[in-house]
Amino acid sequence: MSEIVEKDIMDIIRELKERGLDYSDEVFLITGGAGFLGSWLSELLVKLGSKVICIDNLATGKLSFIKHLLNFDNFKFIKGDVTRGVPKIDTSYDYVIHMASRASPDDYMRYPVETALANALGAYYTLELVRKNDAVYLLTSTSEVYGDAEVVPTPETYWGRVNPIGVRACYDEGKRFSEALAMSYYREYGLDVRISRIFNSYGPRLRGDGAYGRVVTRFILQALENKPLTVHGDGLQTRSFTYVKDTILAHALLLKCERCRGEVINIGNNKETTIIELAKLILELTNSKSRIVYTKPREDDPRRRKPDISKARKLLSWNPQTSLREGLKKTIEWYRRGYK
């Protein structure tokens, strides 16, 4: 178990307690609960005294992220694939959180059908479950729904500019469909639905290996192994990187936010960084001798991505607290200590 993760989780718990929020004795179902964000959320809720049922097919998630939670009576892991439905167990749920999906472009482009269905069918099966349980539904969506946005910083009211038949469509349109379906259940059946749109979250447990690797952790691994950092295209494309502790705190708040019923909320850092700046910062912080190499640009790669977070500020009283430098230092340290 990693001290870095444990300390961040304790900080989140302290903040939630200060706000007087109580999660104990509530039952949560989390699809994708062994993934990067899923395992953080599972760990947080288990330590807050909730009962957590985690479903994951381990396509990108890892048992090592949740192994230590198996010792807790209030945590249960079921290996299952949401494209085939939600495994039936004799429990009623207070909250259902649908997070299961591949999220790395190189990875989802290898499995586009599975990715589209994990989002679309996964949303359908979990929403049906919520209908039967009268639970709160949280869908974790993505900044990808905005595609190559022409309005930056991008507010939730922007409709997006997405290529519906492009190589990223399995993910972009998969998420857009799951948002549309969740809102349809909200309108037709009055379900208590909340949707987050997550902007490039990173931190310990974000995979950096092979096709699973997202840019932050891929660069960190490359730098630590003194291999070239592979910048796609000119490196002037931007992302707004959000440290996982900030992302997870926002989601814990969203679960308890009464005013957020039927709302979609951007969760991200409002500091925009170019990929080349990121590469240079990682080289500096790792003291690496790696070179930077420029590789061919990714198809349909969004040029700029930066959220307008006024809605999250207002509804959740939340602000990202962790600077990129600080978050990178923790992530680098996690990888240096040999965690993967």
Query: Least distance in Å: CB of 68 to ligand UDP?
Result: 27
Could you give phi then psi for residue 88, rounded to 5 degrees?
-85, 125
Please confirm, yes or no, whether 243 is among the known catalytic residues. Answer: no
Nearer to ligand UDP, 105 or 307 (CB): 105
- Please tell me which residue in 23, 93, 171, 243 is annotated as part of the active site: 171
Q: What is the dihedral sign for C-alpha 302, 117, 340, 66?
A: positive
Closest approach of ligand UDP to the CB of residue 144, in Å: 6
Shorter beta-carbon distance to ligand UDP: residue 192 or 277? 277
Nearer to ligand UDP, 253 or 324 (CB): 324
Least distance to ligand UDP from the beta carbon of 105, Å? 5
CB proximity list for 94: less than 8 A, separation 6 or greater: 26, 27, 28, 133, 135, 136
CA 5 to chain centroid: 16
**CA-closest candidate to residue 58, choices 40, 85, 76, 31:** 31
Q: Dihedral (C-alpha) 135, 139, 140, 146: value to the nearest 10 degrees?
A: -160
Q: Quick count: other Cβ atoms within 10 Å of Cβ 158?
A: 17
- Angle (CA) 66-72-74 rounded to 5° is 100
Summarize as ranges the residues that interact with ligand UDP (CB under 6 A): 104-105, 200, 214-215, 218, 230-232, 237, 239, 275, 298, 301
Q: What is the rounded distance in angstroms from the CA atom of residue 112 to the CA atom of residue 333?
A: 33
Whichever of 239 and 311 has its CB closer to ligand UDP, that residue is: 239
Q: From the CB of 215, what's the least distance to ligand UDP, in Å? A: 3
Compare residues 51 and 175 and give the one whose CB is closer to ligand UDP: 175
CB 214 to ligand UDP: min, Å: 4
Residues with catalytic roles: 171
